[in-house]
């Protein structure tokens, strides 16, 4: 299946008073239509920064140092800024971690969804209300005509997240990035939100990037997984392959440290060490090397550490895999 989104060798630095922070380096990833790709990693691994780079909403201190981002084969980085602004919302959308923070507290939720539709599609005024109510209905909001008049503070966290999803999908974009969409929600609401995202991907052929550190959630939801560590994508494969036969030492350590995937508490194994300081000028080619029990001299050889095909549809960035 051809990729809708292709990230190719992407690098991102953040300029700080202490020098550049090398947040992403040589990151590559493909996401296909109708596919849910889980982007997994510890906090600080660069998952959200990659998403913001795709959407063109990086912090002003960020600088893209290399690579490209292709959408339907066209470079987003070379796209005219005004056209990119129109692309965002119509062709691609993002759901943020905190649904309440993503909503304007002094505008009714229906008006906020209507703003998105009016900006990109410009329907006649008499049709806009119907489009808003349809967007709410699609995400399971009961009595959409009444809920459209609600203020964000009148809604629960789960309802606010559904409103955020309705806004993101109001113009039926081909790409949806869900950045930790269940943070702060109770378990029942988490399951409902994930089921909704999964259904929308299947019904509309939407390409979904689900960013999470929850391996159990990703295992139950995603078609494909991409494992990130310290600004690198270290392994990508179909979800069942990653879970049954991980090849990168970091992926194996991550699986062994996940409580929901362990048979018992005695089987849990914490990952030794910590993420490297990304301000360092002497970062090794493999940023997991200093925590890795399989480190050999070849791991420290100069040169970029890119993904290579370890098996069909299974890509790996490791010089000494198990």
pLDDT digits (tens, 9 = 90+) for 100-135: 888 999 999 999 999 999 988 888 878 899 999 999
Which strands, in side-by-side order, build the sheet including 224-229? 92-95, 175-179, 207-212, 36-40, 224-229, 232-238, 314-316, 308-311
Give the model's pLDDT for residue 98. Answer: 82
Domain boundaries, the chain: 1-91+177-297+305-322, 96-172
CATH of region 1-91+177-297+305-322: 3.40.50.300
Give the pLDDT of residue 16: 92
- How far from chain centre, in Å, is Cα 201? 14
Judged against a pLDDT cut of 70, whether residue 14 lies above it is answered with: yes
Residues 231-246, mean pLDDT to the nearest whole number: 94
Average pLDDT on 301-311 reads 88
- pTM for this prediction: 0.90
- Segment 16-35 shows an average pLDDT of 94
pLDDT tens digit string along 158-216?
899 889 989 988 888 999 999 988 877 788 888 888 888 888 888 888 999 999 988 88
- Which secondary structure element, helix H or strand E, spans residue 14, and what is its range? strand 5-16
For residues 138 and 318, give the distance between their C-alpha atoms in angstroms, rounded to a whole number.
43
Confidence of residue 266 (pLDDT cuts 50, 70, 90): low
Q: How many CB atoms lie within 10 A of CB 143?
A: 11
* Long-range Cβ contacts of 10-13 (<8 Å, 24+ apart): 10/50, 10/53, 10/64, 10/66, 10/67, 10/68, 10/69, 11/64, 11/65, 11/66, 11/67, 12/46, 12/49, 12/50, 12/53, 12/58, 12/62, 12/63, 12/64, 12/65, 13/62, 13/63, 13/65
Helix, strand, or coil (residue 155): coil
Closest CA to 33 of 268, 214, 307, 224: 224
Query: Which pLDDT score, from 0 to 100, does residue 2 have?
Result: 83
Helix, strand or coil, per DSSP, at residue 159 = helix
């Amino acid at each position: 299946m051809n990729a809708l989104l292709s990230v190719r060798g992407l690098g991102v630095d953040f300029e700080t008073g202490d020098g550049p922070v090398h947040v992403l380096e040589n990151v590559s990833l493909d996401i296909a239509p109708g596919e849910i790709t889980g982007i997994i990693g510890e906090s600080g691994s660069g998952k959200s920064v990659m998403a913001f780079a795709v959407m063109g909403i990086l912090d002003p201190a960020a600088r893209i140092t290399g690579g490209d981002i292709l959408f339907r084969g066209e470079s987003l980085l070379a796209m005219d800024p005004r056209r990119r602004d129109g692309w965002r919302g119509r062709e691609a959308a993002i759901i943020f971690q905190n649904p309440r923070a993503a909503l304007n507290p002094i505008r009714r939720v229906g008006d906020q969804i209507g703003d998105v539709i009016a900006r990109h599609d410009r329907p006649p005024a008499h049709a806009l209300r119907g489009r808003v109510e349809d967007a709410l209905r699609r995400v399971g909001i009961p009595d959409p005509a009444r809920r459209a008049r609600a203020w964000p503070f009148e809604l629960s966290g789960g309802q606010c997240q559904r409103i955020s999803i309705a806004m993101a999908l109001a113009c039926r974009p081909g790409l949806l990035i869900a950045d930790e969409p269940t943070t702060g929600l109770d378990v029942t609401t988490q399951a409902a939100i994930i089921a909704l995202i999964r259904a929308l991907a299947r019904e509309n052929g939407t390409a979904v990037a689900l960013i999470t550190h929850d391996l159990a959630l990703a295992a139950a939801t995603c078609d494909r997984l991409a494992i990130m560590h310290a600004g690198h994508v270290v392994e990508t494969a179909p979800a069942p392959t990653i879970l049954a036969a991980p090849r990168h030492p970091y992926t194996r350590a991550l699986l062994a440290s996940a409580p929901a995937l362990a048979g018992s508490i005695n089987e849990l194994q914490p990952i030794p060490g910590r993420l490297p300081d990304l301000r360092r000028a002497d970062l090794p080619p493999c940023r997991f090397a200093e925590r890795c029990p399989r480190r050999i001299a070849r791991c420290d050889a100069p040169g970029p550490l890119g993904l290579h095909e370890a098996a069909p549809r299974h890509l790996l960035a490791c010089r000494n895999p198990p």
